[in-house]
């Protein structure tokens, strides 16, 4: 007897393989990191490119998701959320898309990553205080399809989010 297994289409991607950016794009992004408020003309001068080239490359990077959204630069502490935690989450696999949608509806959830290993999701959250974190963790656990959670409070950030070293490596001659 042959059993057919049907894979449920998922909107949640496991791995995406994007083409690597060029050294020219990396130089442009480094210039943008150095001067986030710079005009297109200033970026062009700094990167040694024409204004039209800079506009075209930035538009392509935005379209291809090479440029993340601006909200990554805003510190949640400035918004009244000084606590950061990671909630490891085990889910019923066929409910993964619905769980992800429910997590996206919680404002304190900053990011959700599907991971391999004994847990399924790594949920990055912020909270106003310990009681607020307790509420958020309970909200996550109450989502249909969430089987188990474990919350770890971030005590101190040792290395913040950074991309400059990778960009610098791309611009180095081989």
Task: Tell me the pLDDT tens digit for each residue of 15-74.
Answer: 454 567 889 888 888 888 888 889 999 999 888 889 999 999 999 888 886 777 777 778
Tell me if 54 sits within 8 A of 47, measured CB to CB.
yes
* Dist CA 136 CA 154 (whole Å): 15
What stretch of H or E contains 168? Answer: helix 164-171
* Dist CA 95 CA 136 (whole Å): 20
Q: What is the mean pLDDT of residues 109-136?
A: 97
Return mean pLDDT, the chain: 87
Half-sphere exposure of 123 (CA within 13 A, CB side): 33
Q: How many CB atoms lie within 10 A of CB 27?
A: 19
Segment 136-158, tens digit of pLDDT = 999 999 999 999 999 999 999 99
pLDDT bin (cut points 50, 70, 90) of residue 1 is: very low
Comparison of pLDDT for 68 and 89, the residue scoring more? 89
pLDDT at position 18: 56
What stretch of H or E contains 142? Answer: none
* Dist CA 14 CA 16 (whole Å): 7
**Encoded tokens for 14:** 């496991």
* Dist CA 84 CA 89 (whole Å): 16
Q: 138: helix, coil or strand?
A: helix
pLDDT at position 2: 36
pLDDT bin (cut points 50, 70, 90) of residue 4 is: very low
* Runs of H (alpha helix) within 12-114: 23-34, 40-47, 51-63, 96-104
Tell me if 28 sits within 8 A of 50, measured CB to CB.
no
Structure pTM?
A: 0.76
pLDDT at position 22: 87
Give percent of the chain above pLDDT 70.
87
């Amino acid at each position: 007897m042959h059993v057919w297994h049907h894979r449920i289409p998922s909107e949640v991607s496991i791995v995406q393989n994007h083409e690597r950016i060029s050294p020219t794009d990396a130089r442009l992004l480094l210039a943008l990191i150095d001067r986030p408020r710079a005009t297109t003309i200033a970026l062009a001068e700094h990167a040694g490119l024409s204004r039209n080239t800079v506009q075209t490359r930035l538009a392509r990077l935005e379209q291809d998701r090479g440029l993340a959204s601006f909200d990554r630069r805003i510190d949640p502490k400035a918004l009244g959320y000084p606590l950061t935690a990671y909630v490891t989450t085990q889910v019923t696999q066929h409910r993964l898309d619905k769980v992800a949608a429910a997590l996206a509806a919680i404002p304190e959830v900053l990011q959700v990553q599907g991971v391999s290993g004994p847990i399924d999701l790594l949920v990055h959250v912020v909270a106003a205080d310990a009681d607020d974190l307790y509420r958020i963790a309970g909200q996550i656990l109450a989502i249909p399809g969430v089987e188990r959670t474990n919350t770890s409070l971030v005590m101190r950030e040792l290395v913040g989010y950074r991309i400059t070293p990778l960009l610098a490596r791309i611009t180095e001659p081989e």
